[in-house]
Amino acid sequence: MKAPTLRPRRTEPPEQGTEFVPIAEEARNEAPRATIDPDRSLRWLRRALPVMKAHKGIFITSLTLSFIGLVLQVQIPNLLQQAIGNSITHHTVPLSHYVWWIVGLGLVGAVMGYIARLLLFETAYDIEYDLRNIIYEHLTRMSFSFYDRVQSGQLISRANSDIRSVQMYMTFAPLIMVQCSIAVVAFIFMLTINVPLAFIAMATTPFVYITGVRMRRSMFPVSWIIQARLAEVATIVDENVNGVRVVKSFAAEQQQLRALSGAADKVQWGYIKDADLRARFTPLVQNLPQLGLVLVLLFGGYMVIHGQLGIGAILAFNAYLLMLQAPFMMLGMLIMMGQRAAASAERIYDIIDEEPTVTDKPDAVDLTDCKGDVRFSHVDFVYDSEAERLVLADFDLHIDPGETVALVGRTGAGKSTVARLLNRFYDVRHGSIQIDGHDVRDLTLSSLRANIGVVLDEPFLFSVSVRDNIAYGKPSATFDEVEAAARAAGAHEFITHLENGYDTVVGERGYTLSGGQRQRIAIARTLLVNPPIMVLDDATSAIDVQVEQMIHASLRVQMLGRTTLIIAHRLSTIALADRVVLLDQQKVVADGTHAELLESTPLYAEVLAQAAEFERDADLEGSDADVVGPDEDGRGLADLLESARGGAHR
């Protein structure tokens, strides 16, 4: 059976008028029904109100059923009073009449309570789903500059524990308020029994309110500190899990444990302070209503003794007050939840309120029929807007369609920055970058990046199968297409020797594979998309010479008709290029073929020598790279450098 092949880019002009069709899969999940109100002047709950309104039907039904169930429960003390008066004292109504009424009300109330809580939890998870999608969709739109300065642990914390705090308050606070509102209904029933005693029973309510306000003001800053320090712990854990190989290689486990212990101690202080505040205020909030029970027994008992009130009435009053104990006990929890939710919401809004710096213009157009003409014109760029020294300064470079250019320079010269600017991971400070005559800022990001394939020197693989990793940019690809891309990248042979072949699930970040294997899969992933412009950022640095030569033979075929920018250190990689550009002092200082630069530019030979020394050091650590292989003329690196020095002296 003939092995599948991956066809190179076509060299003939494409048909004009072709529309841009994205190859990535469309999202299949249900989009959030609403989003956070962008008005930053509103209080946090007002800003989140649109998300609650999106589920108002089921939410209001839940609260209504809960309220009706509580109203039915309030009827029971009234029936108890009537049963004592009419059945036990005066024997005018059979006792069974009230017994059946109480049993019936209890059953109906239980059914309504069950349905209400079922709907409430459904609403809670719907709101949590919306909040998670809102923040994740926003994170997908954020620019690279945002991720350069924000720790991943902070984002994980805000997308998990902070969202849960907000969701719990948004759904359960209204339920608690409904349960507390039963105090109004109970108070009305108490008024129908005896007006003075009703006011005596509720005399402690103002003190409960004052205590609650003080508790809320005291707990907000502590809640903020707790959430912030939980995020610090999440950051340390995230970095230690992702960097476990570095930690273990330096035997730094105890050092990291001390760091985690210090962060955990700070969280512990916050929780202890929170518990201290709750210990001060919660007993007052919960027990002040019981003082009303004492007053009812005192004054109500006096009235019963003097014949001014029936024994059934005072029992009903006591039942109403006991019924009010649960809402008042939950009031303290409501205040605590509210302050934690407020602190969490502010942390979430810190992310949502930040706008991406790289976005589509309102009149942006799709890049279609891309020929691959690339031009950098007087580009100035710096990562930190406040930094004085530019990374690129007055940078000029033109790459013709189908041309392969190698970009060479010292470490830190800005080579990778050129690649990041080309597919608009960042925007230039001054100047412009054009593709086929279009400024990249005038093109839609999706179409721009679909036409530029990038292979990084440290490829990232997902914890899925090898096949899914290769097909990441084109999920609809057939197995034959995936295999053809793997063959072109020199990955097919080692993949077939894996335990489950293409179905083998790689470990986190692909660390179950070697560096060279990860790079080959990353190359295959880009080749499968078949972009008209390709950027190889030191993409074969971890691959041994024999495999690299095989890959280069395939890449020469794949580069036909494709504009390719190679960020290179190895002579073998530079040999793929039609011309070489030397980058130094933030700009292009030399441009020509490899032989021309060796002959005319001593700096070029020095850069290659430094790269060779670096590669030899990597070899000592187990790398299988070899940069001292012969060039096209059969001369080694030492001969080339000697020739360059001789040419410079002449």
Which among 561, 456, 558 has a CA at the least distance from the CA of 509? Answer: 456
Tell me what pLDDT residue 254 has.
81
Q: pLDDT of 423-464, one tens digit each?
A: 899 999 999 999 999 999 999 988 898 899 888 777 888 888
Beta-ladder partners of 381? 392
Whether domain 455-530 has CATH 3.30.930.10: no
Tell me what pLDDT residue 196 has.
83
265: which 2 tokens?
């101690």
Residue 327 CB-half CA count within 13 A: 24
Q: pLDDT of 4-35, one tens digit each?
A: 555 555 444 444 445 666 655 566 667 778 88
CB 297 within 8 A of CB 309: no
DSSP state of 502: G
Which among 319, 438, 318 has a CA at the least distance from the CA of 368? Answer: 438
Q: pLDDT of 523-569, one tens digit each?
A: 899 888 888 998 988 766 666 666 677 777 777 777 788 899 988 87
Contacts of 252 (CB under 8 A, 6+ apart): 246
Contacts of 466 (CB under 8 A, 6+ apart): 495, 498, 501, 502, 503, 504, 506, 521
Contacts of 642 (CB under 8 A, 6+ apart): none
Instruction: Give the residue, 244 or 343, on which the prediction is more confident.
Output: 343
Q: pLDDT of 46-90, one tens digit each?
A: 999 999 889 989 999 999 998 888 888 777 777 777 787 777 777
E-strand ranges in 491-559 read 533-537
Residue 151 CB-half CA count within 13 A: 16
Q: Minimum mean pLDDT among 162-176, 592-606, 633-647: which range? A: 633-647
DSSP state of 443: B
**pLDDT, mean of residues 247-273:** 79
Contacts of 464 (CB under 8 A, 6+ apart): 505, 506
Tell me what pLDDT residue 440 has.
92
Query: Quick one: how many helices (H) and strands (E) in the chain?
Result: 24, 10
Task: State CA 53 to chain mean position distance.
Answer: 25
Tell me what pLDDT residue 5 has.
53
Query: pLDDT tier at 467 (50, 70, 90 boundaries)?
Result: very high
Tell me what pLDDT residue 456 has.
79
Tell me what pLDDT residue 343 has.
84
Instruction: Find the DSSP H helices in 308-411.
Output: 311-323, 325-352
Q: How far lies 70's CA from each of 108, 117, 180, 185, 471, in Å? A: 11, 13, 10, 9, 57
Asked whether the predicted pLDDT for residue 604 surpasses 80, the reply is yes
Tell me what pLDDT residue 433 has.
94
Q: How far lies 409's CA from each of 377, 571, 584, 605, in Å? A: 19, 13, 6, 10
Instruction: Find the DSSP H helices in 296-440.
Output: 301-305, 311-323, 325-352, 415-422
Among positive and negative, which fits the CA dihedral 357, 363, 368, 374? Answer: negative
Asked whether the predicted pLDDT for residue 45 surpasses 70, the reply is yes
**pLDDT, mean of residues 216-222:** 76
CB 353 within 8 A of CB 544: no
CB atoms within 10 A of CB 291: 13
CB 313 within 8 A of CB 81: yes
Q: How far apart are CA 586 and CA 402, in angstroms?
A: 26
Q: How far apart are CA 241 and CA 33, in angstroms?
A: 35
523: amino acid identity, one letter: I
594: amino acid identity, one letter: H
Mean pLDDT across the chain: 79
H/E stretch holding 274: helix 253-295
Q: What is the phi/psi pair of residue 362, to 5°?
A: -60, -30
Q: How far apart are CA 490 and CA 523, in angstroms?
A: 9
Q: What DSSP line would sit under 452-493, residue for residue?
A: EEEE-SS----SSBHHHHHTTT-TT--HHHHHHHHHHTT-HH
Q: Quote the CATH superfamily of domain 44-139+147-352.
A: ABC transporter type 1, transmembrane domain (1.20.1560.10)
E-strand ranges in 338-419 read 374-381, 392-399, 404-409
Q: pLDDT of 611-650, one tens digit each?
A: 666 666 555 554 443 333 334 333 444 454 454 444 333 3
Tell me what pLDDT residue 650 has.
35
DSSP SS3 for 368: coil
Tell me what pLDDT residue 20 has.
61
Q: How far lies 171's CA from each of 52, 227, 338, 440, in Å? A: 8, 20, 11, 45
Q: How far apart are CA 647 and CA 650, in angstroms?
A: 5
230: which 2 tokens?
């939980």
Q: What DSSP line would sit under 598-610, residue for residue?
A: HHH-HHHHHHHHH
Tell me what pLDDT residue 576 has.
82
Say what angle helices 95-141 and 161-193 make with each other, to 10 degrees: 150
Contacts of 356 (CB under 8 A, 6+ apart): 141, 142, 143, 146
Global pTM reads 0.70
CB 574 within 8 A of CB 594: yes
CB 342 within 8 A of CB 223: yes
H/E stretch holding 455: strand 452-455
Say what angle helices 325-352 and 161-193 make with each other, to 10 degrees: 150
Asked whether the predicted pLDDT for residue 159 surpasses 60, the reply is yes
Tell me what pLDDT residue 16 has.
43
Asked whether the predicted pLDDT for residue 377 surpasses 90, the reply is yes
Asked whether the predicted pLDDT for residue 404 surpasses 80, the reply is yes
Asked whether the predicted pLDDT for residue 317 surpasses 90, the reply is no
Tell me what pLDDT residue 586 has.
83
The full set of domain ranges for the chain reads 44-139+147-352, 455-530
Asked whether the predicted pLDDT for residue 492 surpasses 70, the reply is yes
Tell me what pLDDT residue 397 has.
92
Which among 152, 134, 157 has a CA at the least distance from the CA of 38? Answer: 134
Q: How far apart are CA 443 and CA 23, in angstroms?
A: 17
H/E stretch holding 84: none
* Burial environment of residue 315 by CB neighbours within 10 A (0 to 12, 13 to 18, 19 or more): middle
Say what angle helices 161-193 and 152-159 make with each other, to 10 degrees: 30
Tell me what pLDDT residue 625 has.
39
